[in-house]
Amino acid sequence: MYNPNVSGGNATSVSGSRLYKYEVKGLRQGAETDKLSPVIRKSGSVFITVPYNRMNQEMQRIARMGGEIVSITPINDDNTNGQSAPAETALQNNGKSMTQAKAKPEKQKIPVNLYKPKAPFIGKVISNEPLVDEGGSGIVQHIKIDLSGGNYHYIEGQSAGIIPEGTDEKGKAHKIRLYSIASTRHGDDMDDNTVSLCVRELEYQHPETGETVYGVCSSYLCHLEPGSDIKVTGPVGKEMLLPDDEDANIIMLATGTGVAPFRAYLWRMFKDEERKANPEYTFKGKAWLIFGVPYTANILYKEELEALQQEYPENFELTYAISREQKNAEGGKMYIQSRVAEQAARIWEMMQDPKTHTYMCGLQGMEDGIDAALSAEAEKNGANWEDFRKQMKKEGRWHVETY
């Protein structure tokens, strides 16, 4: 999903095949001791030598073992005189990346602005696959990008910046466009080396000339060939992050490519490979995706979503709103706001649970209709929707990213 509402950022890329020494504390001792309470951990420090191109993977592995990186020391680097420096990027026990600086603890978990527009990470397109079936409208692509050789890492719910090739009408380099990340922190290949985007090619008629106009970055991305270099910035964004609570209830309201972050959530929650990679997070709550599209052929990731629903029927519910094929109660088109109105009593009841988080991602036009539907339900229950929504926002349970 293209997200124009989040600002981007960068850190200088390091090249070469240098070796680095990690000083690590708090590693768990083994599978058997993990069953004990409290978990037994190794005392003192453990030192691990890591080549530069494996740094990110090793950080993820250490996090899964419950370790904390205390310092990272370049080996045989004349510029450091053999002195140990604090780890620039480390991982907490919950597997989220953090910057070990004098920042407030709540800001340490989230990797932000590792690569900025002036010095983007140069990735490479691995694959560019169509997501719209025959009979659907528009072009939507799933684009997988290789991140190996750098320190680009992210968590579910963040966005990546893309700088398209070429220049604008003034001869200046194009500005970044931001897209919601559609993969988990481990990537589609589970190797911590890729990021995936879900992109629709923007196409519209010029209001004055009638000429067909294509989006600069979306068109660039949708037609990139595998093997092409691509400039990536970020990651950015804190609004759409998942709660750490394994027992949380997650309501997801999506239109079109707004399903991108929810794919990442659902993979993290339910994919077998993800569950093995994240023993510290086993989702036990209720996830409910209400997904609005124009045609059945436009249901992005349809086979993936329905497979997860079939495997986890008690934990994952999938509801479609297919506007050109389904009718609402009044006989009109079934938009996502119509489906929310239809399910308003259940949604409202779930929202009363302090463990329930609601996420909305996609076209901004759905917000008013969803507000109207939930406002009517709140009134039935003697409450004011606007006040209740503000309270959820204050509690960190209401998350919106629309465009």
> How does pLDDT run across 339-368, given as a tens digit for each residue?
999 999 999 999 999 999 999 999 999 999
Confidence of residue 42 (pLDDT cuts 50, 70, 90): low
Residue 180 annotated among the catalytic residues of the structure: yes
> Is the torsion defined by CA of 249, 308, 160, 21 positive or negative?
positive
Which of 195, 170, 202, 191 is closest to 180 using CA atoms? 195
Pick the catalytic residue: 115, 154, 361, 377? 361
Pick the catalytic residue: 2, 154, 179, 265? 179
Residue 403 annotated among the catalytic residues of the structure: yes
Cβ-defined contacts of 386-395 (< 8 Å, 24+):
388/351, 392/351, 392/358, 395/354
Q: Which amino acid is at 1?
A: M
Q: What pLDDT score does 33 carry?
A: 43
d(CA 48, CA 161): 32
Return the percentage of the chain with pLDDT > 70, whole number. Answer: 80
Which of 54, 220, 200 is closest to 125 using CA atoms? 220
d(CA 68, CA 88): 12
Which of 229, 235, 15, 17 is closest to 110 using CA atoms? 235
pLDDT in tens, 177-191: 999 999 999 999 999
Pick the catalytic residue: 68, 156, 274, 401? 401
Confidence of residue 3 (pLDDT cuts 50, 70, 90): low
Lowest-confidence region among 101-105, 259-263, 328-332: 101-105
d(CA 195, CA 206): 33
Confidence of residue 44 (pLDDT cuts 50, 70, 90): low
The whole-model pTM stands at: 0.74
Q: For residues 247 and 185, is the Cβ–Cβ distance under 8 A?
A: no
Residue 401 annotated among the catalytic residues of the structure: yes
Q: For residues 174 and 168, is the Cβ–Cβ distance under 8 A?
A: yes
Q: What pLDDT score does 46 carry?
A: 76
The Cβ-side half-sphere exposure at 313, using a 13 Å CA radius, reads: 1
Q: For residues 8 and 176, is the Cβ–Cβ distance under 8 A?
A: yes
Set out the domains of the chain in order of their start, with CATH numbers: 19-107 (no CATH), 121-236 (2.40.30.10), 249-402 (3.40.50.80)
pLDDT in tens, 245-279: 999 999 999 999 999 999 999 999 999 999 999 99
The residue with tokens 């480390």 is: 90
Pick the catalytic residue: 159, 180, 196, 218? 180
pLDDT exceeds 50 at position 92: no
Q: For residues 145 and 127, is the Cβ–Cβ distance under 8 A?
A: no
pLDDT exceeds 70 at position 201: yes
Q: What pLDDT score does 50 carry?
A: 73
pLDDT exceeds 70 at position 327: yes
Q: For residues 359 and 259, is the Cβ–Cβ distance under 8 A?
A: no
Mean pLDDT of the chain: 84
Average pLDDT over residues 144-156: 96
Q: What pLDDT score does 36 carry?
A: 46
Q: Beta partners for 22? A: 48, 72
Show the tokens assigned to 358.
């609601």
Confidence of residue 30 (pLDDT cuts 50, 70, 90): low
